Structure 1
Amino acid sequence: MEVPVGFIAKLWSFVSFLPFFFLLLILGLLKAVIMCPIVVGIIVIGNSAVIIGLWIAHFLWTYFCVLRTKKLGLLLKIVVLILLPLPLVLWPIIGIVGSLIGGVGYGFFTPLLATFEAVGEDVTDKCYHCFIDGCLSTIKGSCTVVHDFVDFCFHSYFSFMDELIDKMPAGENPLEIKLSRLPSCLLAILIGVPVDVFFVTAVALWKSPYMLFRGWKRLLEDLVGREGPFLETVCVPFAGLAIFLWPLAVVGAVLGAIISSFFLGLYSGVIVHQEDSLLLGLAYIVSIVSLFDEYVNDLLYLNEGSCLPRPRYRRNMRSTIQREVFGDNDADNLKIGREGSYNSKLVSERSRTLKWAMEKYKPIQVWDWLFKSCDVNGRILLRDGLIDIKDIEECLVKGNCKKLGIKLPAWSLLQCLLTSAKSDSSGLVISDDVELTKFNGPRDKVFEFFIGPLLIMKEQIKKLELNEDEEFCLRKLIMSCKNERSEEWDETEFPSSDKVKRAQLQAIIRRLQGIVASMSRIPTFRRRFRNLVKVLYIEALQAGASDNHIGGTLKSSFGGKGSISSGDTKDRDEIINLSAYGNGDIV
C-alpha cells in the first residue's frame, strides 16, 4: 500500500476511511453479539463440568501429596496443610468466574478482530470473508480452550503432584521455614500490602492519562500517515479499532497494576525470610514502588529512571536473581544480564523504536519452531529405527508418551544446541535464517525460564568440543538410555573415555529432559504433540503399505521395525480415524 504524502492526501485518506471503518465496526459488533453467548456457553459449561467433576479428586490428591512429600520441611508442611482448604475451596469459584470472563472476552473480541483482518492485503474475496471470518473459527477456538483446560486438569496437575512426591536428589535439603523469622515476615506483610497497594495504585492512576493520550497520539499518527505496523499487516482498520478500544486497554492496565500490587506487598515477607532481616524487607517495600514507576516510565517513553528512593533489599542482588532464574550451579558460570548492578537504573531491553520491536520473536513463533522441529526429527528417528510404530501406538492408544513426549523434544533441542555450539552465534540457531538471542527473544517470563538454561547448556557443549562421532553417539544415547547413572554408558560405544566429560553430557541430557517435562505441562503442548504423533503414525503406516507389509511385520523404508498383529487392527483404525482431520497439521 502506498503511503499518502502531503497534508491534503493524508486528510483525504483519513476522511475516506471513516465510513469504511464504521461499517466494519458495526458488522463486527453484530457478529460479536451473536457469537459471544455461544462461546461463553461452551467455555463455561465445559470448564465448569471439569472443575466440579474433578474437585474432590484434586482436593484429596493435593492433601495426599503434601502429606507424602519430602521436599517440604515439617513446619512448612503443617502451614501448607492448614492453609490449603482456602485455595481449594475457592478454586471452583475462581475457575468458573474466570471461564465466564475469559469466554466473554474471547467470544466478543475474536469475531470483531476477525472482521477487520478480513480486509487485509493478502485476503481475496474480502466481502465474503468479512461476513464469514470469526464465526466458525471462534466456536472451534472455544472448543480448543476447553480441550486445553481438560489437559491442564488431567495431565498438568497430576504431573506437578507427581514431581512433588518424587524422591529428593542427593544433597538437596527440604524447604523449611524458621519460626523465629515468622513474626518479622508477618509484620513486613502487614506493612507492605497496604503501602504497596496504595502507592502502586497512585502511580498507575497518575500515569494513566499519559498512557491514554500518548497512545491516542501514536495511533492517530499511524492512522493519518498510514505508517507503523498498520501498513503491512491488516492496514488501517486496526488503527481505528485500536483508537476506539484504547481506553479499555488503559483501564485494564490500571486494574492489572492494582491486582499485582497486592502480591508485590506479600512478597516482602519472602524477602524478610530469605534475607533474615526486617530492614531489608522494609527496603523492598519502598524499592518495589520505585521499580514499578521506572518500568511505567520506560513503557510510556517518559524520562528514564524514577525520582522515588530505591534502597537495596538484597545483600547480593545480582547473584540472588540469577540463582532464582537459572539455579545454583549455573548462576556461578553465567555472565548474562543488564550492565551494572540491580540497584542502578532499570533500563528495559526493549528498544524504543518500533522497527526493533517488530523484529522480536513472539512466544508462539518459538513454540511453532519446537513442534516443526519435532515433526522433522520424528521422521529422522523413524528412519534410523530409534523409535518405531509400537512407541507411537503406545502414546496414542495407551496414553503412555514418556518416551516420545520427553525424548523426541529433548532430541530436537539437543540438535539445536549442537548446531548453535558450532556456530559463532551468541544465542540459539533455530533455523538457517533465524537466530534466537536474549535480545530478540520473547519477553514472556515462561519462555525466558526455558530459554535461559538452554543458552547455558549451549556454552557448556561448546566448551566440551565434541567431535562428529561423539555427536552421533550422543543422539542415540539420548533416545536409548535413561541417563540416570553414569554407569549406563559403560557398555555403549561412546567414543570418549573421559568420565568427567560423560558426566557433563549426561547432566545436560537430564536437564533437557527436565525442561521438556516442564514444557509438557503447558496445556497446548499435549494437544499439539498428539496431533504431531498422529501425523507420524499415518506416514509410518503409509510407508509400510508401500512395502506391502500391512498386517504382518512392518519393515518400512524408514529402517525401523514394529509388529502389528491382528489384534492391533482395531486400535490402528481408530487412530487413523482420529488423525483424519489433522493429517499434516501439527498446530
Structure 2
Amino acid sequence: MEVPVGFLRNLWSFLSFLPFFLLLLLLGLLKAALVGPVVVGIIFIANSAVIIGLWTAHFVWTYYCVAKTKKLGLVLKILVLVSLPVPLVLWPIFGIVGSLLGGVGYGFFAPLLETYEAVGENVTEKFYHCFVDGCWSTIKGACIVVQDFTDFCFHSYFSYMDELIEKVLPNEKPMDIKLSKLPSCLLASLIGVPVDVLLITAVALWKSPYMLFRGWKRLLEDLIGREGPFLETVCVPFAGLAIILWPLAVVGAVIGSIISSFFLGLYSGVIVHQEDSLQMGLAYIVSIVSLFDEYVNDLLYLREGSRLPRPKYRKNMSPSPERESLGDNGDNDSKNGSENSYDSKLISERSRTLKWGIQQYKPVQVWDWLFKSCEVNGRILLRDGLITPKDIEECILKGNCKKLGIKLPAWSILQCLLASAKSNSSGLVISDDVELTRMNVPRDKVFEWFIGPLLIMKEQIKKLQLNENEDMCLRELVMTCKNEKPEEWDDTEFASSDKVRRAQLQSIIRRLQGIVASVSRLPTFRRRFRNLVKVLYIEAIQEDTSGNHMGGILKAKYGNKSCNQSEDKKEIDEIINKGDYGNLV
C-alpha cells in the first residue's frame, strides 16, 4: 500500500480509518461478551478439577521422588523436603487463580483479535467472517488449552519426577550445600527478599509513567505517519488496538517486575553459597536493583546505564562494557557509552519494522516443521521396516511410545543436522527454501535452548566428515541401538572401527535423545504426537504390512476393506482421538 505523504493526507488517512476501527472494536467486544463466559467456564472449571484431582498424587509423588533421589546431597535433600509444603500448598491457589485470569484473557482477546483478522487482505467474504470468526474457534481453543494443561499435569510433571529418581552415573556427584554455609544463605535471602521487592517495585512504579507515555507517543506517531506497525494494512487494526490496550501492558509489566523481584531476592542465598561470602550476597542485593534499572532504561530507550550503585558480587566478575565506559565514579555521560547507546538504539528502532518481523521465524513455525518432518520420516521408516506396526500398536494400546516418541523425532532432527553439515550452512536447513540461523531463530528462551545445542552438534558432525556409508548406517543405528556404549556398534555394519569416532557419534545421538525427551514434556507435544501416531496408524493399515498387528486389528473389524474405502473410517478417527483403542479389537 502506498504510504501517504504530507500532513493532510496522513490526517485524512487517520480520520477515515477511525470509524471503521471503532465498528470492528464494538463487534469484537460483543462477541467477547457472548463467548467469554463460556470460555472462562471451560478453562476455570476443567483446570481446577485437574489441579484438585491430582493434587494428592502430586504431593505424595513429589515427596517420594525427592526422598529417593541420589542427585541431591543429604543437607540439600532435607532442606528441600522441609520447604516443599510451601509450593505444594500454594500450587492449587495459584493454579486456580491463574486458570481464571487466563480464561478471562483468552475469552476476551481471542474473539477481539479474530474480528480484526477477518478483514485481512487475503480473507474472502469479510462481512461473514467478521461475525463468525472468533466464536466457535475460541471455544475449541479453550478445550485445547484444557487438554494441554491436563497433559502437562498428568504426564509431563510425573516425567520430570521420574527423571529425578533415575540412576546417576558413577562419576556424577550429587548436588549439595555445606551445612556451615546454610545460616548465611538463609540470612542473605531473608534480607534480599524484602529489600529487592521494595526497591525493584519502586523502580518499576517510577518508570511506569515513562513506559505509558513513551509507548503512546511512539504508537501515535506511527499511526499518523503510517510507519512501523501501521505500514501494512493488515497490521493497522492490531496496532490501533495496541494504543487502547497499552495501559494494560504497562500494568502487566509492573506486576511481572514485582513477582520477579521476589525470586531475585531469593537468589542472593545462591550467590552466598557459590561465592562462600555473605558480603557477596549483600552486594548482589544492591547490584540487582541497578541491573534492573539499567534493563528498564534500555527497554524504554532512556539514558544508558544506571545511577544506582553496583558493587561486584562475584569474585572473578569482570566489569560490563557499560560500566567500563562509565568509569569508577559512575559517570553515565561517557562519549563511548553514549555512542554505543545511540548505535544500539538505532538498531533497536530498525528492528521494529514489519519486514524484520516477517523474516523472524516464529516458534510455532519451527514446531510445525518438527512434526511435519516426523510425519514424513515416519512414513519412510515404516516403509523401510525401521518402524514396525508392532511399535505403533505398543504406543497406541500399551502407551509404550519410547521408540516413536523419542527416536523418531531424534532421527528427524539428525536428518536435518546431516543435511545442514553437508550443505556448509551457517544454520539448520529445515527445508529447501528455509534456513534457520542465529539471526532469524525465534526469540524464545525455550527454542533458544533447543536450537543452540543443535547448531553446536551440526558443527561437530561437520568436522567428523562422515562418508556416505557412515551416513546411511548412522540413520539406522539411531532407531535400532540404545547408543549407550561404543561396544553396541561392534556387531553392526558401521564403516569405521575408530572407537573414538564411534563414541563421538553416540554422544551426539544421546544428546539428541535427551533434548527430545525434554521437549516431549512441553504441553503441546503430547497432543501433536497423538495426531502423528494416528497418521502412522492409518498408514500402517493402508500398507497392510502385518496381518498379526494393525492390519489384523482392522481386518477383524472391517474385513478386507481398506481404510479409505471403509464407511467406518470416521469411527476409527473418533476412536483414535478419544484414545479408546480397545474398541478396535
- TM (norm. structure 2) is 0.88
Aligned to 2:139: 139
How many Å separate the matches in 1 of 2:389 and 2:323?
Answer: 52
Aligned to 1:577: 574
Give identity over the alignment, percent.
76
For the pair 1:451 / 2:438, whether they are aligned, the reply is no
CA contact (8 A) 1:189 1:268 kept: yes
How far residue 8 of structure 1 moved from its aligned partner, in angstroms, is 1.6
Matches within 5 A, 1:35-434: 35-232=35-232, 234-316=234-316, 351-353=348-350, 354-355=352-353, 356-434=356-434
1:438 aligned to 2:435?
A: no
Contact 1:112 1:134 in 2 (8 A): yes
Summarize the alignment of residues 545-560 of structure 1 with structure 2, pairs less than 5 Å apart.
552=547
Partner of 1:414: helix, strand, or coil?
A: helix
Q: Residues 537-559 of structure 1, C-alpha deviation per residue, up to 9 Å, x if partnerless?
A: 22332343xxxx7x837xxxxxx
Distance in 1 separating the partners of 2:230 and 2:493: 57
Matched-pair contact (CA < 8 Å) for 2:39–2:139 = yes
Cα distance in 1 between the residues matched to 2:371 and 2:554? 32
Maintained 8 Å contact 1:301/1:352: no
Distance 1:262 1:40 in 2: 29
Distance 1:374 1:224, change over 3 A: same
Q: How far does residue 383 in structure 1 lie from its aligned partner after superposition?
A: 2.3
Query: Could you tell me how far apart the structure 1 residues matched to 2:303 and 2:555 are?
Result: 68
| Structure 1 equivalent of residue 551 of structure 2 | 564
Q: 1:413 to 1:313 in 2, by over 3 A?
A: farther
1:371 Cα deviation (Å)? 1.3
Q: Is the 8 A contact 2:394 2:401 kept in 1?
A: yes
Greater shift, 345-354 or 17-26, is seen at 345-354
C-alpha distance after superposition, 1:173-232 (max 9, x if no partner): 111111111121122112222222222222222222221122112222232233323443
Task: For 2:515 and 2:113, locate their aligned partners in 1 and report how far apart those are by CA, in whole Å.
Answer: 35
Give the secondary structure class of the aligned counterpart of 2:430. strand
Q: How many residues align?
A: 550
Are 1:317 and 1:342, in contact at CA under 8 Å, matched by a contact in 2?
no
**Cα deviation, residue 433, structure 1:** 2.8
Task: Compute the displacement of 1:563 (Å).
Answer: 6.2
Q: C-alpha separation between the residues in 2 aligned to 1:501 and 1:482?
A: 17
**Can you list the C-alpha shifts for 1:108-130, whole angstroms capped at 9, x where unaligned?**
11111111111111111111111
1:311 and 1:343 in contact (8 A); partners too:
no
TM-score, length basis structure 1: 0.88
Asked if the contact 1:396/1:575 (under 8 Å) is kept, the reply is no
Q: Which residue identity is paired with 1:424?
A: N
Q: Aligned residue for 2:22?
A: 22
Q: Amino acid of the residue matched to residue 150 of structure 2?
A: V
Task: Give the drift of 1:452.
Answer: 2.0
Alignment of 1:460 onto 2:460: yes
Gaps of 5+ in 1: 319-337, 554-561, 583-587
Shift of 1:405: 0.4
Moved more, 453-462 or 518-527: 453-462
- The alpha carbon displacement at 1:581 in A equals 11
Q: Deviations over 1:325-367 (max 9, x none)?
A: xxxxxxxxxxxxx997998899989844123454322222221
Q: Do the aligned partners of residues 359 and 352 (structure 1) sit closer, same or farther apart at CA in structure 2, a change above 3 Å counting?
A: farther
Structure 1 residues 568 and 316: CA distance shift in structure 2, 3 A: farther
Amino acid across the alignment from 2:547: G
Residues 463/447 of structure 1: CA separation in 2 closer, same or farther (3 Å cut): same
CA distance in 1 between counterparts of 2:407 and 2:72 reads 29
Cα distance, 1:567–1:224 mapped onto 2, change above 3 Å: closer
CA offset at residue 511 of structure 1?
A: 0.7
Contact 2:229 2:239 in 1 (8 A): no
Q: For the Cα contact (< 8 Å) 1:535–1:579, is it kept in 2? A: no
RMSD: 2.7
**What is the alpha-carbon distance in structure 2 between the residues aligned to residue 455 and residue 340 of structure 1?**
27
Matched AA of 1:577: E
Task: Compare 414-423 and 247-256 and name the one that shifted more.
Answer: 414-423
Pick closer, same or farther for the CA change 1:215–1:442 going to 2, 3 Å.
same
Larger displacement relative to structure 2 (519-528 or 59-68): 59-68
